[in-house]
Structure 1
Amino acid sequence: MTLSTFMQHLTNGISLGSLYALIAIGYTMVYGILKLINFAHGDIFMMAAYFAFFGVATFNLPWYFAFLIAIIMAGALGMLIEFTAYRPLRSAPKISILISAIGVSFLLENLAVVLFGGKPKAFPTPEILTDVVVIGGVSIQKLTFVIPLVTIILLYALLHLVNNTNIGMAMRAVSKDVETARLMGINVNRIISFTFAIGSMLAAIGAIMWSVKYPQIVALMGVIPGLKCFIAAVIGGIGDIKGAVIGGFILGIGEIMIIAFLPGLTGYRDAFAFILLIIILLFKPTGIMGKNLTEKV
């Protein structure tokens, strides 16, 4: 393998890892607050792609305006799901909330099939993002540079929000002890809704960039990316934002490099994520950045 080919694969891996990281952050934020795996997260990713598609293709909005509206609508959808499917079950056993999350996931997938059809649709791709530049013999889409940059900026903004603002302090308080946070005057429902909105908007940004990179959308497009990003969150240490990003990069780069060095395993690309998950759970169940916690008796 030549150096230029290696760099081509590495840039693709970093780009894919950045997408996984963005979506994984949504999983880890919700888990950090509620200790809940939001299995509808991958389907919010899918709905956001359709919101952007119809904004451009049906309503003829400028792509940047359609993308912004799609991100806002995804945030609103996340809040709606939290309000209708999770909030009424907050004091119920965890298994009830888990079943509700799976039910919401199936609802969104089947609703998308009914509303949007089962046939794949070509996603509108702005030329400014899909233009190719050649650097040292390596052909790279401009989007490949944009994705990691957006991920880093959003990660920095999110960490600043969580660590240096009043609402971030409230989020950390709720994640530690909901009842104590409520006694301290924190509006727990508002904080949890805000967390769902932020996580869903990050998933929407990931969905839009994913759809530009792989310009075909379908009703079940969120299933595999959703599972992989959940795995990325677990690898990094679910509940830890930096861990989710690290897990996303490990998964994305690992996938691309396995295909690059062992092209005969291309058909097993998706299996790599699940094998890596099993290995992590065997040797470091809390993930790379996860902390060992003792159960309260």
Structure 2
Amino acid sequence: MQFLSYLISGLGLGSVYAIMALGYSMVYGIAKMLNFAHGDIIMVGAYVAFFAISGAGMPPAVAILLSILACTVLGVVIERLAYKPLREASSLAVLITAIGVSYFLENGALILWGADSKFFPSNIFPQGGLTLGSLSISWLTIITIAVCCIIMILLMLFVGRTNTGRAMRACSEDKGAATLMGINVNAIISLTFAIGSGLAAVAAVLLASTYPSISPTLGAMPGIKAFTAAVLGGIGSIPGAFLGGLLLGVIENLSKAYISQQLSDAIVFGVLVVILLIKPAGLLGRKVSEKV
């Protein structure tokens, strides 16, 4: 029963990683770039929700919506100002720019809000949990897993069933051909950043509710682990990001419980290396052959 408790807690943590990883995967799948500022957008989302609740006294639901709106706008602004001018640049130039944007957001947060940790309110989600015999599951864990599954289903339906989703898939396959077919590639990429950044805000609230101490470096390690989850599942694949996030959370939680808390991160990255040696494209990724 204790193993089952650790497993469910790992699924809850993995659900947060999965929501973050979906943002990485969508941006990479459409724009073919790694947005390493994604973790810092998560940090901004947590701060916006914190000040909306603690400073402005807003209801939690309104604060979460405000956080989503702020992160969505921030993601679009970053894409327009930092990444759009580099659309035809080399991957290295885009990567360096992404790292620069990450440092800019972190240092901006230090200037605006200081280095002291803030403690996220604990009244956003119901306290207590569901008890089944000797097994106890917190409501936060249940809500986190449910939100992750709902987001995954909605994204799959959006990408697979709507005209905009089809346009996204077309841009992912061939931007030049998509442009010739009348698709506004720049608008599609901006929309992708908007969706990914909005998901970052959702992940920020769930993460801050799980680990209440927030600071300008809040998104650094979770951002790296979310990227790891995206690579593990197959970066560019929405189901892959979902699967990779859940697996990462379970592996991390079981490693902390049964092996060592200090070695849990090393075990997580070690599993990633082993899987990539066996399947270089990730668990659900597809190997793309290029003609040269």
Q: Calculate the TM-score normalised by the size of structure 1.
A: 0.96
Q: Which amino acid aligns with 1:163?
A: G
The number of residue pairs the alignment matches comes to 292
User: In the alignment, what sits opposite 2:284?
Assistant: 289
Match of 2:96 in 1: 99
Residue 164 in 1 paired to residue 161 in 2?
A: yes
Which position in structure 2 is the counterpart of 1:174? Answer: 171
Q: Distance in 1 between matches of 2:81 and 2:185?
A: 16
- Give the letter aligned to residue 268 of structure 1: L
Q: CA deviation at 1:213?
A: 1.3
Residues 237-252 of structure 1 aligned to structure 2 (within 5 Å)? 237-252=234-249
User: 1:47 Cα shift?
Assistant: 0.5
- What's 1:184 paired with? 181
Matched, 1:145 2:137: no
Pairwise CA distance, 1:128: 4.0
User: Does the Cα contact within 8 Å between 2:11 and 2:249 map onto a contact in 1?
Assistant: yes
Q: What whole-Å deviation, never above 9, does each CA across 1:110-152 have from its counterpart, x for those lacking one?
A: 1111111111101012264333343212232211100111111
Distance in 1 of aligned mates of 2:163 and 2:269: 38
Amino acid at match of 1:292: K
Hey, what's the Cα distance between the residues in 2 that align with 1:275 and 1:164?
A: 37
Q: Distance in 2 between matches of 1:244 and 1:214?
A: 22
DSSP-derived class of the 1:130 partner: coil
Q: 2:222 aligns with which of 225, 233, 255?
A: 225
Residues 144-165 of structure 1: per-residue CA shift (max 9 Å, x gap):
1001111111111000100000
Retained in 1: the 8 A contact 2:18–2:226? yes
Select 1:43's aligned residue among 40, 44, 52.
40
The CA deviation at 1:205 is 0.4
Q: Any idea what the Cα deviations from partners look like across 1:232-284, whole Å, max 9, x if unmatched?
A: 0001000100001100111100111112222xx11122222221222122221
Aligned counterpart, 1:269: 264
**Cα offsets for 1:58-92 (capped at 9, x unmatched):** 11111110111101111111111100100001011
The residue type equivalent to 1:277 in the other structure is L
Residue 127 of structure 2 is aligned with which of 120, 130, 151?
130
How has the CA–CA distance of structure 1 residues 188 and 133 changed in structure 2, closer, same or farther, with 3 Å as cutoff? same
Q: CA RMSD in A?
A: 1.1
Which of residues 93, 114, 117 in structure 1 aligns to 2:114? 117
What percentage of aligned pairs have identical amino acids? 47
SS in 1 for 2:261: helix
C-alpha separation in 2, matches of 1:12 and 1:281: 26
* Segment of structure 1 superposing worse, 277-286 or 143-152: 277-286
Partner of 2:257: 260
Distance 2:93 2:148 in 1: 33
SS of aligned partner of 1:99: helix
Contact preservation (8 Å) 2:60, 2:124: no
**Which runs of no fewer than 5 residues in structure 2 stay unpaired?**
none
Instruction: Check whether the contact 2:233–2:241 (CA below 8 A) recurs between aligned residues.
Output: yes
List gaps (5 residues or longer) in structure 1: none
Once the 2 structures are TM-superposed, how far is the Cα of residue 35 of structure 1 from its aligned partner? Answer: 1.1
| Separation (CA, whole Å) in 1 of partners of 2:57 and 2:22 | 31
Determine the structure 2 residue equivalent to 1:14. 11
User: Matches of 2:31 and 2:171 in 1, distance apart?
Assistant: 8
Of 78, 82, 88, the match for 1:81: 78
User: 1:127 and 1:180, CA in 2 relative to 1: closer, same or farther beyond 3 A?
Assistant: closer
In structure 1, the partner of 2:273 is 278
Matching residue's letter, 1:28: S
Q: Deviations over 1:8-55 (max 9, x none)?
A: 211101101111100000000000011101000000011100010011
Q: TM (normalized to structure 2)? A: 0.97
Distance 1:125 1:80 in 2: 31
| CA apart distance, 1:100 | 0.5
3-state DSSP of counterpart to 2:137? strand
Question: What is the rounded CA distance, in whole Å, between the counterparts of 1:127 and 1:154 in structure 2?
Answer: 19
Say yes or no: does 1:32 pair with 2:9: no
Quote the Cα distance in structure 1 between the aligned partners of 2:73 and 2:145.
Answer: 25
